Chain A
């Protein structure tokens, strides 16, 4: 009997997928169906040698999801809602002495300028059902109980991980299959540009001086701040992982021992105006390998505020356990919305840093 290699992929890829369909029976040349490791894996069992020390720790796939760090949830949506929406108000007013000026009034005036309000409602975004189930036979369950490795818990962990990965994608870049975009590629955001070239005629940070890199980031911060009418200096900067690693190690000046990253955290428009430290984080979805249709890394600056940017989501719920023959199934269901960019001017994106 021969054994096929363990067929779980994705532990070290940037955006891994859980491959469940690859575990299948293997047909040998003598027309017998093997009961090899791939088959036994369905119950979580392995062949262990007498002098082999098996570590019983369960090592799950390595996956990074950071959406809960980078966006606030809109929690008022329910399972019964089909879409989510919001309103945006526009205020208007005219001046007194001059139409575009201050509302000066005369003592004898009988008519005076008044404030007008227009409330608009952008087209709502759908709340799309998300559902998966855990399913295992009574035999799998019995075998798993005997081995002390609970298959039901493992399946639920896999389901929860998939749920987190899907939310992560929806929050950052959306899903083209349902026409959804995320916070990094929303078509509403127009403050999108390439970074300027440095002294070496290159936009890449690896070819730029620390001063030029600081200029790139400050240009983005001030640009977003100005676009918001100086209301919302960005509170968070997301940078693709490789350039993030670069600025976290390169010294800002040969005269000091501070990195570009640590320097920037405390010396920026946000800290200068509010005293709040700028949050600079790596985002894997800004890497050119993960961002849709791109050849370059990006950085983003925005205000993490539920009033500016949020993600509507109905949390995952479960149905009662269901029996079907020898199988035990538990359906899980929820709803995922699409990122609501209430104020697109509070987001800015720059491309070409790697």
Chain B
């Protein structure tokens, strides 16, 4: 947790673009406690100043915290929070890109807001659907992207 002082209240959009059920967190004006995974988000830094720097820096740099944050997000949010992209490591980004290529090959239209967990789920669902369709017509099919 980090302490911030905000000039005005604002919503931190951490992923979704649905205006009626947005994936957002409200921070009021004045001193507020910000979870570590959002403490170095550009909009949090834009709207105020960090009062407790020492708490923020190690949390952002600590790999264990980054992994935990990613796990939490993938478990609780079907569409991963794009607000957490700031903590993505290079490996995570390359994994995401690989998943995107695989999804494209399977004919899945990838939403830019999807994270790793959502893309894996969509790919699995697509593969299952392909396998089920193949079983119906009696043809054994291998998912093209998986083979590549």
Contacts and interface: CB of A to CB of B under 8 A. Distances in A.
Interface residues of B, number: 28
A223 B18 CA distance: 9
A351 B43 contact: yes
Given A293-B7, A296-B46, A352-B42, A196 B29 contact: no
A223 B19 contact: yes
B17 A194 contact: no
A222 B82 contact: no
Interface in A252-305: 293-296
A197 B82 contact: yes
A196 to B, nearest CB: 5
A193 B13 contact: yes
> Looking at chain A, what size class is its interface with the partner chain?
20 to 34
A190 B26 CA distance: 9
A198 B112 contact: yes
B113 interface: yes
Contacts of B82: 196-197, 201
Interface in B67-118: 82-83, 85, 88, 93, 110-113
B9 A197 contact: no
B20 A197 contact: no
A215 B10 contact: no
Given A212-B112, A294-B46, A194 B12 contact: yes
A194 B13 contact: yes
Interface of B: 7-13, 15-20, 22, 24, 29, 42-43, 46, 82-83, 85, 88, 93, 110-113
Interface of A: 185, 187, 190-201, 203, 212, 215-216, 218-223, 226, 293-296, 351-352
Closest 7 CB pairs of A and B: A199-B112, A193-B11, A194-B43, A223-B19, A222-B19, A197-B82, A192-B10
16 contacts: A187-B9, A192-B10, A193-B24, A194-B12, A195-B13, A196-B13, A196-B16, A197-B83, A198-B112, A199-B110, A201-B85, A219-B17, A219-B22, A226-B19, A226-B20, A352-B43
